[in-house]
Amino acid sequence: KVLIQTKKLSKSFSNGGNLFHVLKNIDLEIYQGDFTVIMGPSGAGKSTLLYAISGMDTPSLGSICYGDIDITKLNQNELALFRRDNSGFVFQSIYLIDSMSVLDNVLASGLLKNKNKKEAVKKAKETLLAVDIKEEYFNKFPNQLSGGECQRVGIARALVNSPSVVFADEPTGALNSKTGKDVLDTLTEANRLGQTIVMVTHDITSARRANRILYIKDGEIAGECILGPYIPHD
């Protein structure tokens, strides 16, 4: 089932009077339940594409449809509501709030959607446990956690509202390979449980978690491949 469909998606930046075309007429589909990875050389437009299809940034031209909702037609308020209800984000530089506990970082997102505090607390705790953050960490602060633990909290924050899709931009880019693997395992498990994921990476080890790879070059889709199941070697 198609979850997101773009048509002639384009993004240009003006660069000293000249237009620089970062995304050029991209037609793509993201399928429900897939773990899709976007790969390609640095500067190819991967992040720009991710930010456009997630509604974090607006394209210059083209449409981005979630079912029959074209998010390019929404105003800023409608778009913010749409994102709150439909998407979760995981960033390379994790952006937890340092002055808030682990639980409160996740709860803050959960409360946005779920007005019932008790329900939201329950969901936040369940989500943290699901990403393997144990109860004794709930009241710690981000600076008491390792980078990998912080990123798993970041993933819990993205998952807590059960979004239709989670977008991740180089989620392991700031981590070493061991903690990066734990983060990938967490995303892989979320996907196994049905979560649709779209991840930008230039790392082939990370990309192997996907069942579909879209390859972007010079702002265009230059190729795609479908992968078999991920088989861990350890």
User: Does 47 sit near ligand ADP (CB under 6 A)?
Assistant: yes
Structure tokens that stand for 77 in this block:
């308020």
* Residue 33 within binding range of ligand ADP, rule CB under 6 A: no
Q: Which one of 42, 75, 77, 143 is in contact with ligand ADP (CB under 6 A)?
A: 42
One residue of 6, 30, 36, 46 binding ligand ADP per CB under 6 A = 46
Q: Name the minimum Å distance from CB 175 to ligand ADP.
A: 14
**Does residue 19 interact with ligand ADP by CB under 6 A?**
no
Q: Between 34 and 170, name the residue whose CB sits nearer to ligand ADP.
A: 170
Nearest in space to 102 (alpha carbons), one of 161, 160, 56: 160
DSSP letter string, the chain: -EEEEEEEEEEEEEETTEEEEEEEEEEEEEETT-EEEEE-STTSSHHHHHHHHTTSS--SEEEEEETTEEGGGS-HHHHHHHHHHHEEEE-SS----TTS-HHHHHHHHHHHH---HHHHHHHHHHHHHHTT--GGGTTS-GGGS-HHHHHHHHHHHHHTT--SEEEEESTTTTS-HHHHHHHHHHHHHHHHTT-EEEEE-S-HHHHTT-SEEEEEETTEEEEEEE--------
Is residue 39 involved in binding ligand ADP (CB under 6 A)? no
Contact stretch for ligand ADP (CB under 6 A) within 37-45, 73-81, 103-111, 178-186: 37-45
| 149 contributes a contact to ligand ADP by CB under 6 A | no
- Write down the least CB distance from residue 39 to ligand ADP, Å: 9
* Using rule CB under 6 A, residue 13 touches ligand ADP: yes
Give whichever of 33 and 43 is closer to ligand ADP, judged by the CB atom.
43
Candidate residues 26, 44, 159, 210; the one interacting with ligand ADP per rule CB under 6 A? 44
Q: Which range, of 40-48, 111-119, 152-160, 177-185, touches ligand ADP by CB under 6 A?
A: 40-48
Contact positions vs ligand ADP (CB under 6 A):
13, 22, 40, 42-48, 170
